[in-house]
Amino acid sequence: MSDSRREIEAMIFDLDGVITDTAKYHYEAWKLLADELGLPFDRAFNEQLKGIDRMASLEKILSQMPDGGASITMEKRVQWATEKNKNYQRLIEAVDETEILPGILDLFRELKQRGIAIGLASASRNAGTLVRQLKVDSYFDVIVDPASVAHGKPAPDIFLKAAETLGIVSKYCVGVEDAEAGIRAIKGAGMFAIGVGDKQTLAEADYLVSETALLSLSEIERHFRQ
Ligand code: B16
Ligand code: MG
């Protein structure tokens, strides 16, 4: 049923694929490690890792081993995950505000003017560094540390923690995501889910745009109220 009095109180953003396109750097960093380990890794495989945390991503890559990775000790896993992260950190060193995706800054400014809270719910432990490099850190009312939640996406924990920290009830929150796991997390948190990207992958989103440049607050509000 339509509820024209229902207003958005918070918008909670994913980072990689929504605010900036760091998926390409994650891809390159994993590719370096996978090549070294002699495991297949291509862009299609990388799609499955979007929104998925570092150790869970490594597990998916190792699952291609003949024994599904069962023989790999935790010590080795930590060593390889650390190596991937070093590759990644080297690749993102030069990231600056020119890498903010189109339309995002205008949306942030509009949200601020309207008094709508802004949250960050990224699975990346490098998110804090990235938002500082992109010079958007001051827009956020909350940045959830992914290490502080028990379960990563697709579990709803990180979006729930953002809303709880803001003191805003889930039904007045909107989440923005580019990954299937992220949309599931938003829906699981009882929030309105905006997908950015592919229709098939993000079929569970409540509202979908093909690219960030099409994120318009008035359109989002129209769909949210429906
Ligand atoms: P890190 P998001 C996610 O960020 C990425 O989509 C995913 O590919 C990556 O494995 C994950 O962060 C963890 O990143 O290794 O830097 O901690 O999309 O949730 O902003
Ligand atoms: Mg993402």
Q: Is 157 a catalytic residue?
A: no
Tell me the fold of 10-21+96-225. Rossmann fold (3.40.50)
Per-residue pLDDT, 3: 54
Ligand 1 center to 154 CA (angstroms): 12
Nearest to 131 by CA among 97, 103, 158: 97
In which band, very low, low, confident or very high, does the pLDDT at 179 lie, cut at 50, 70 and 90? very high
Tell me the pLDDT of the chain averaged across its residues: 95
The CATH code belonging to domain 23-94 is 1.10.150.240
Query: Radius of gyration of the chain from Cα atoms?
Result: 18
Show Cβ contacts of residue 121 under 8 Å, excluding neighbours closer than 6 positions: 12, 13, 14, 144, 158, 159, 161, 162, 175, 185
Q: Which atom of ligand 1 is nearest to the CA of 84?
A: 15
SS3 111: helix
CA distance 54 to 112: 32
Does the pLDDT value for residue 4 go beyond 60? no
The tens digit of pLDDT for each residue in 13-41 reads 999 999 999 999 999 999 999 999 999 99
Does the pLDDT value for residue 161 go beyond 90? yes
CATH 1.10.150.240 domain range(s) in the chain: 23-94
The tens digit of pLDDT for each residue in 37-93 reads 999 999 999 999 999 999 999 999 999 999 999 999 999 999 999 999 999 999 999
Beta carbon of 84 within 6 Å of any ligand 1 atom: no
Q: Is 14 a catalytic residue?
A: yes
CATH 3.40.50.1000 domain range(s) in the chain: 10-21+96-225
CA distance 1 to 11: 22
CA distance 86 to 167: 36
